């Protein structure tokens, strides 16, 4: 699918439009929705979707590469808590590039399984994802192998010819201790059409600004804010496992849970190597539709 839309505005126009769209959606969706406190953009922790709840998230990313054109990627995420230990999610990806076209780039289907049911010092989660995207995808949900900002220099018309049917696996390790969350992800990705396994990592650290809740409802207060930082990057391939020639990022993050249940997130990611984009600005709006599974069951009873 290719839409005939050309970038005509200033550098931040698409980012602004996406952010406004997400904010509009957060207001337009009824208050029966509750948010999930999910601070990270790239890293996963061991928190699963609550059983029977449906999560809808909009996550635009605006990229300022060093040599390529400014772009904006948008991911719409629909997640469902099938069981307490199993979350399944569908991602729909699209992008727009300055002076180029806007594209729907494909979808991903992700499943996360928590093998140990209790809470431990380190909680493992197994992640399995099927990816069906074209080469123009710029959502940057993870960085693997030798992913480089230089790849984004080609026009969308060229990039979209490449098909990416991939299997992505992650080992997620995560711990909660004294209000802190520490999460480490080890990523292995394989193009089903051929090619070597590619590896990557993501590490996240976050904490609410206040540990105890206040007795009164409040909006802009420390207990509703969570701050942290993410590190992520590529680790080469099975044939060449290395840091050399790979891209890496450091990204401080802030999430704000509104009393209405909406969570807003923001994270500027700074490129650390020559292969990295100069800056990745990520935004996120998350809603949770409570008891979606229960409502569906009633509908079909």
Q: Are 173 and 43 in contact (CB under 8 A)?
A: no
Cα separation, 126 vs 46, whole angstroms: 10
Q: Please report whether residue 211 would count as binding another protein according to CB under 8 A.
A: yes
* Contacting range for another protein; rule: CB under 8 A; set: 135-143, 153-161, 231-239, 291-299: 291-299
Contacts of 215 (CB under 8 A, 6+ apart): none
Rounded to a whole number of angstroms, the minimum distance from the CB of residue 12 to another protein is 33
- What's the Cα-to-Cα distance from 273 to each of 57, 70, 128, 164, 243, rounded to whole Å? 30, 18, 29, 25, 10
Judged by CB, which is closer to another protein: 3, or 296? 296
Q: Please report whether residue 109 would count as binding another protein according to CB under 8 A.
A: yes
Q: Please report whether residue 237 would count as binding another protein according to CB under 8 A.
A: no
Cα separation, 70 vs 62, whole angstroms: 7
Cα separation, 230 vs 62, whole angstroms: 17
Rounded to a whole number of angstroms, the minimum distance from the CB of residue 160 to another protein is 17
Q: Please report whether residue 291 would count as binding another protein according to CB under 8 A.
A: yes
Q: Please report whether residue 269 would count as binding another protein according to CB under 8 A.
A: no
Q: Please report whether residue 34 would count as binding another protein according to CB under 8 A.
A: yes
* Contacting range for another protein; rule: CB under 8 A; set: 59-67, 83-91, 143-151, 243-251: 83-91
Q: Please report whether residue 194 would count as binding another protein according to CB under 8 A.
A: no
Q: Please report whether residue 130 would count as binding another protein according to CB under 8 A.
A: yes
Cα separation, 61 vs 82, whole angstroms: 28
Contacts of 19 (CB under 8 A, 6+ apart): 60, 283
Q: Please report whether residue 161 would count as binding another protein according to CB under 8 A.
A: no
Among 1, 4, 118, 194, the residue binding another protein under the rule CB under 8 A is 118
Q: Please report whether residue 132 would count as binding another protein according to CB under 8 A.
A: yes
Q: Are 114 and 88 in contact (CB under 8 A)?
A: no
Rounded to a whole number of angstroms, the minimum distance from the CB of residue 152 to another protein is 26
Phi, psi of 19 (to 5 degrees): -65, -40
DSSP assignment, residue 60?
Answer: E
Binding site for another protein (CB under 8 A): 34, 37, 45, 47-48, 50-52, 80, 82-86, 88, 109, 114, 117-119, 130, 132, 165, 176, 178-179, 181, 192, 208, 211-217, 261, 290-291, 293-294, 296-297
């Amino acid at each position: 699918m290719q839409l005939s839309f050309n970038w005509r505005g200033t550098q931040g126009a698409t980012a602004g439009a996406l952010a406004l769209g997400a904010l509009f959606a957060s207001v337009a969706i009824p208050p029966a929705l509750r948010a999930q406190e999910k601070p990270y953009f790239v890293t996963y922790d061991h928190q699963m979707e609550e059983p029977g709840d449906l999560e809808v998230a909009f996550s635009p990313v605006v990229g300022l590469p060093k040599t390529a054109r400014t772009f904006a990627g948008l991911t719409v995420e629909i997640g469902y808590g099938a069981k307490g230990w199993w979350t399944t999610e569908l991602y729909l990806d699209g992008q727009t590039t300055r002076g180029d076209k806007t594209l729907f780039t494909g979808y991903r289907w992700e499943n996360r399984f928590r093998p140990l049911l209790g809470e431990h010092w380190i909680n493992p989660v197994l992640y399995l994802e099927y990816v069906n995207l074209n080469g123009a995808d710029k959502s940057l949900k993870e960085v693997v192998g030798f992913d480089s900002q230089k790849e984004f220099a080609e026009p969308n018309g060229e990039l979209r010819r490449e098909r990416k049917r991939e299997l992505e696996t992650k080992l997620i390790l995560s711990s909660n201790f004294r209000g802190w969350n520490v999460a480490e992800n080890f990523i292995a990705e394989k193009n089903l059409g051929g090619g070597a396994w590619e590896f990557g990592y993501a590490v996240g650290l976050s904490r609410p600004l206040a540990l105890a809740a206040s007795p009164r409802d409040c909006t802009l207060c420390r207990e509703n804010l969570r701050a942290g930082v993410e590190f992520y990057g590529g680790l080469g391939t099975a044939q060449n496992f290395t840091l050399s020639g790979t891209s890496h990022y450091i990204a401080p993050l802030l999430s704000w849970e509104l009393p209405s249940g909406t969570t807003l997130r923001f994270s500027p990611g700074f490129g650390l190597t020559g292969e990295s984009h100069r800056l990745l600005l990520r935004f996120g709006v998350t809603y949770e539709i409570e008891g979606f599974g229960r409502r569906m069951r009633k509908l079909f009873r």
